Amino acid sequence: AAPPGPPVYVDLAYLPGSWSARTVDEEFFRRVRSLCYVVSGDDHLKEGVLRSLLDALLAGKHQWGTDIQVTFIHTFDSLVMHAWYQETHDRQQELGITVLGSNSTVAMQDETFPACKVEF
């Protein structure tokens, strides 16, 4: 268990991938309060823990007790993500969580790639 202490506030937090994604739980989201969380890495290990990570975001954000808006960005397409989004959409709105999808693209010169613009 983490030692008691005040939460840490940041503008942007990248959530760990692969096996480390299992360490992101409700306590993580209670303690690491970010305006924007990014989850990236389309791998089978993350897909297995994605639902628990997303549920932990809702549970942890519920404990904040403030009206801080949070943006959640996922950089890969996932059936788990789609199902969670549909099932918890009302709860996301109650908690001030905006989920940005992974379907935006930017075209530069001869290349097109996925992108998301985040401003603070």
User: In DSSP terms, which residues pair with 93 in a beta bridge?
Assistant: none
The reply to whether 2 falls in a domain is no
Residue 108 forms part of a structural domain: yes
Count of domains forming the chain: 1
Range of the domain at 52: 8-114
Backbone angles phi, psi at 108, to 5 degrees: -135, 125
Please write the tens of the pLDDT for every residue from 92-115.
999 999 998 756 677 888 888 767
Is 46 strand, coil or helix? helix
Which residue(s) pair with 34 in the sheet? 10
Q: Is residue 120 part of a domain?
A: no
Kind plus residue range of the DSSP H or E element containing 108: strand 105-108
- Predicted pLDDT of residue 10: 96
CA distance 48 to 92: 21
pLDDT tens for each residue of 46-70: 667 888 899 999 999 999 987 899 9
Retrieve residue 56's tokens: 């932990």
Question: Does the pLDDT value for residue 120 go beyond 70?
Answer: no
- Whether 1 is in a domain gets the answer no
**Residues above pLDDT 70, as percent of the chain:** 80
* pTM for the model: 0.82
Q: Which of 52, 58, 50, 59 is nearest to 102 (CA)?
A: 50
